[in-house]
Amino acid sequence: MVTPPTLTLFFIVEPPQYQYMACYLAASIRQHLPAEVELVGYCPQHRLGDLDPAVTETLRRMRCELRPMQTEGRFDPAYPHGNKILACLEPRTTDFSGFMDSDILMIRDNRIENLVRPGHVSASVAASMYWAPQTIWDPIYAAFGMPVTQQRVMLMRDKRKPMIPYYSSGFVVFPEQYRTPDGQSFAQVWMQTAQTIEQIEGLDNKRPYLDQMSLPLAIQRAGLDWNELPEEQHFILGGQLRGQPFPHERGIFTVHYRKWDVLAENGLAEQGYDALRDQVGTRRVSWVPKQPLPAGIAPLPDQDQARHQAPAPTQPPAKPTGPDPSKGNIAAVTMVHEDHFFLERWVRYYAAQIGRENLYVLRHGADPDIDRIAAGTNIIHLPNPEDKSGFDGRRWTALSKFASGLTLYYNWVLCNDVDEVLAVDPAVSDSLSDYLNAKFKEGRAPHAISPFAVEIVHTPATEKAPITQDAPILSVRRNFRLNSNYAKPCVIRGRIGFSVGGHGSNLRRVPLDPHLYLFHLRYVDHELSRQRLEKRRKWMELKNGPVAQTGRKKATWDQGDEVFNSLSQLEPVATTMEFPDFRKAMIEGRTQAASTGNWFFRNMRSKELYHLPERFTTLF
């Protein structure tokens, strides 16, 4: 059996901000790489006294060794970007070592073998090189008596033409035990190369690019080859990509974000928080010393306790017992085109629960009936062009950003399609507001919540009474099937990125609430639903072409009333809302889609229909 290579990943831990970024990086490595990977954080010797004790303890609990490193006087004048080269010079014993900038986050499970290659230095091409013309390489290569290499690369963000090799120094993996014929390590060659370039007179832009301009020559001078890390292994955020949707479909392993705001803009900040919580029990570094020790981590010696761990308070800090008083209570958001029947019921239900002034109706195109039905709510006009290119993607990106923004002003935001109603089990509460706000008293209210989902299905043979304005829908439509696809992460307290359709999101941890239900109403009435489904099928054909002619995969809206007609012939097998096995399978089957990075409960539907218990019939 081939012994897998051993690897140490290391980074800089320096106050003020990089010490905290380093903790999130370490947590993401622990979450997504094998446990045998060794972690080392290097802190400049003269900054050790400035480290937050919570940082030291956080790294210790993740089996990340914190080592001092002499940096003063190593570059003249001081060159903070050169600390990565100095860290590479430090001794380690594994087969390979890899330096990572502290503002990097791993977001997907990875393998050591994807990062290392014997006889090679692994790095990605740089994002761009706008800071200098290609002629800058002439004096650099000449300083070493070398001709400019004939090799060319395409940079990550600058595709104008092939360039002389220029690599990112933000993520560099090299063979640790390799030595040149004269006994030098790669790190020693890199340092020597950088020092020589420093002495080239008249060379512009040596600072802050010295580490990167020296890297390709150091690889060549050491007698090693370059192993190109694909962009998915070192994806650089920000810059010209800022404001563009994150390409989840590419299966990206590692992101270089530079600023936490950029990470948040791409919907990835929660993955950073989740990684830390997975490793040490909390999403905030400052809270780590108060958490129970992870398995296998020993308590600190008494004499080090005061220096490394925050002292226990005489009284534990009070947990928030209610919503943020600086915000409104609850908002509800939907986006609609026509669908007047469902909008009327949506507005009526949520207005009674949380007030019309807290409802937001995003309307496609002018529609006086929508204006009438939603009078008193916040109606937001959106254009409705004939060209529907990218409609679904734009729709859910807009809802993600709009609902996320509202969480700055509301403690809770509900975001659903207009044919969906969110309700609490009447046996527990008759108020959405009271039920959700009680979660603050349980501890920290979740960032997002998914309700259990049921689809109301009209069975004309047994439910003959029509839906009328003066009676609740559920009083005459009580049959349903289970559909986990509609257990959407639709109750949020902070930023989120919904999947297309809202069925999943970029959030890994979304609890399935035991008492919240989403009622999906697309099959609520035989005639109304049949007409609506057929209209949507024709709309899909108009937008994308007929399935038979284009060969495209049939979507839900393409099916017209086929599924509904089949379901509406069934009879319920039981009167119940207790489905523990179904819930358990949903939760245990929660997975991340490789193509988008979004998280979903296991996709399940019941073959049978069930009957709502009496207590639900007056909800709406």
Band of pLDDT at residue 302, cut at 50, 70 and 90: low
Report the pLDDT value the prediction gives residue 134, as an integer from 0 to 100: 95
Report the pLDDT value the prediction gives residue 596, as an integer from 0 to 100: 85
pLDDT tens by residue, 580-601 = 999 999 999 999 988 888 999 9
Using only C-alpha atoms, the chain has a radius of gyration, in whole angstroms, of 29
Q: How many CB atoms lie within 10 A of CB 483?
A: 16
| Mean pLDDT, the chain, whole residue set | 91
Amino acid at 335: M
Cα separation, 209 vs 49, in Å, equals 29
Report the pLDDT value the prediction gives residue 557, as an integer from 0 to 100: 47
pLDDT tens by residue, 465-512 = 999 999 999 999 999 999 999 999 999 999 899 999 999 998 988 999
Question: What average pLDDT does range 12-22 have in this prediction?
Answer: 95
Cα separation, 324 vs 288, in Å, equals 24
Cα separation, 503 vs 510, in Å, equals 12
Count Cα neighbours of 612 within 13 Å in the Cβ-side half-sphere: 25
Output the six-digit token pair for 512: 């399935």
For 286, the 3-state DSSP assignment is helix
Report the pLDDT value the prediction gives residue 3, as an integer from 0 to 100: 77
Answer whether 612's CB lies under 8 Å from 575's CB: yes
Degrees to nearest 5, angle at CA 450 with 449 and 453? 155
CATH number of 7-125+168-177+227-241: 3.90.550.10
* Residue that is written with structure tokens 């390799």 in the block: 178
pLDDT tens by residue, 253-280 = 999 998 998 998 888 998 999 999 999 9
Q: How far is CA 235 from CA 125, 154, 242, 497, 615, in A?
A: 10, 15, 13, 19, 52
SS (H, E, C) 174-229: EECCCCCCCCCCHHHHHHHHHHHHHCCCCCCCHHHHHHHHHHHHHHHHCCCEEEEC
pTM of this structure: 0.60
User: Is the pLDDT score of 442 beyond 80?
Assistant: no
What backbone phi and psi angles, to 5 degrees, belong to 552?
Answer: -70, 160
Q: Where are the alpha helices (DSSP H) in 222-337?
A: 260-265, 269-280, 302-308
Domains of the chain, by residue range, sit at: 7-125+168-177+227-241, 406-616
